[in-house]
Amino acid sequence: MEIKQLKYFIEVAKREHLSEAALELDIAQSAISRQISHLERELNVTLFKREGRNIHLTDDGHKLLAEANKIVEQAEDTVRLFHNQSETNRYVIRIGYVESYTAQMLGLLIQTFEGQSDSKIEPMLMEETEITNTLLADQIDVAFMDLSTDLKQHRDLDTIPLFEETYNICVPKEDPIALATNPPLSQFKDKMIYQLYATSQSIKHTLEQQIQQRVRIITHKQLAKYLLTHNRGFIITPSYHIIDKPNNKWVEISLAHTELKRTICCATRKDNRKHDMALLKNTITTLLSRDATYH
């Protein structure tokens, strides 16, 4: 039994005339007769009594008509539900992002974009190990992430380099390295290094290779200040994070001259057809793109 057959049956039952039903449905009368015959054979009943050119529902026909109306109505409601849901989803843009400077700019990005568009943004913080696959699986629409070599090779994705993220290291003022100018990472070998806030695995791996020891992660500025004040270690931070220096107990050294850097990009699927995606990408470029050397 097919929905099409039930629709044909309902139209014939309503008009009690094959040719009028065929005209309304804009199909050949023979096609309607054939489908109703298939329906009768499948159900093993007679649905119409023929009297010359007129046809009338049998008792079984009346029973089927009541059920057919329910089935067709439910099918049409289901189609409408998914069409409406699909239309609603067109106006919801899901942004996944890894921890970076973009997190600080998301509020302004959302406010600026939604001030010009009917679409709404749903942001979510993600692990760098999952964000690419989530984007490829169409579970998010936009990804702010590291522009890796692997990412560049995905032909299904568009990537827009945004900015280069560099790092600083905070050093107790009494330590001799505080006087160094553009020190290489290897100069921090055998030093106790803490990373304030987790960053990408590639950054952590690069740092650990250079200093030849494990880097510890902390997540609170107060703890970072204590360690620096008591000369208990050095603190690595992204350059956009600032740790207040009470009484100049430590100095902040830029590591922008080292290999400790990453390029943050905006990645989208080429086949994404969400409403106002072009406007969103333009807004992202306007707010987040900075002149830099991209790797």
Domain ranges, ordered by start, for the chain: 3-89, 92-163+263-288, 165-261
pLDDT at residue 111 is higher than 80: yes
Tell me which of 114-118, 247-251, 272-276, 283-287 is least confident: 247-251
Cα–Cα–Cα angle for 95, 148, 164, rounded to 5 degrees: 75
Helices (H), the chain: 3-15, 18-25, 29-43, 59-89, 102-114, 128-136, 149-152, 201-211, 221-229, 277-288
Looking at residue 132, what is its pLDDT? 92
Highest mean pLDDT: which of 31-35, 51-55, 84-88, 159-163? 159-163
Q: Categorize the per-residue pLDDT at 106 as very low, low, confident or very high, splitting at 50, 70 and 90.
A: very high
| Angle, helices 3-15/29-43, rounded to nearest 10 degrees | 110
Q: What is the pLDDT of residue 293?
A: 40
pLDDT at residue 83 in the model: 59
CATH topology for 165-261 is D-Maltodextrin-Binding Protein; domain 2 (3.40.190)
Look up residue 23 and give its two tokens.
Answer: 């005209």
> What gap in Å lies between CA 87 and CA 119, rounded to an integer?
11
The torsion region of residue 62 among left (phi > 0), alpha (psi -120 to 50) and beta comes to alpha
CA distance 193 to 217: 9
CATH, domain 3-89, list 3.40.50.170, 3.40.50.2300, 3.40.50.150, 1.10.10.10: 1.10.10.10
Residues across the chain: 295
Average pLDDT over residues 80-93: 70
Q: What is the per-residue DSSP string for 19-48?
A: HHHHHHHTS-HHHHHHHHHHHHHHHTS--E
Nearest Cα neighbor of 185 from 215, 216, 208 is 208
Best CA proximity match to 246, nearest among 229, 223, 227: 229
The whole-number pLDDT of residue 84 equals 57
At residue 78, φ and ψ (nearest 5 deg) are: -65, -45
Per the prediction, the chain carries an average pLDDT of 88
Where residue 292 falls among pLDDT bands split at 50, 70, 90?
A: very low
Domain 92-163+263-288 matches domain 165-261 at the CATH topology level: yes
Give residue 82's pLDDT band: very low, low, confident or very high (50, 70, 90).
low
Strands 92-97 and 142-146: parallel
Nearest to 265 by CA among 98, 22, 54: 98
Say what the pLDDT of residue 291 is: 53
Residue with tokens 């390029």: 263
Residue percentage of the chain with pLDDT more than 70: 94
The whole-angstrom separation of Cα 164 and Cα 191 is: 26
Angle made by CA atoms 185, 292, 250, in degrees to the nearest 5: 40
| Percent of the chain scoring above 90 in pLDDT | 47
Count of other CB atoms within 10 angstroms of residue 40: 18
Instruction: Name 266's Cβ contacts closer than 8 Å, sequence gap at least 6.
Output: 142, 143, 144, 159, 160, 162, 281, 284, 285, 288
Mapped onto helix, strand or coil, the DSSP state of residue 7 is helix
> Taking a C-beta distance cutoff of 8 angstroms, is the pair 228, 250 a contact?
yes
Q: Regarding the domain delimited by 92-163+263-288, which CATH topology (the fold level of the hierarchy) does it fall under?
A: D-Maltodextrin-Binding Protein; domain 2 (3.40.190)
Q: For the segment 125-156, what is each residue's pLDDT rounded down to a tens digit?
A: 998 889 999 999 999 999 999 998 888 888 89
| Mean pLDDT score, 23-40 | 88
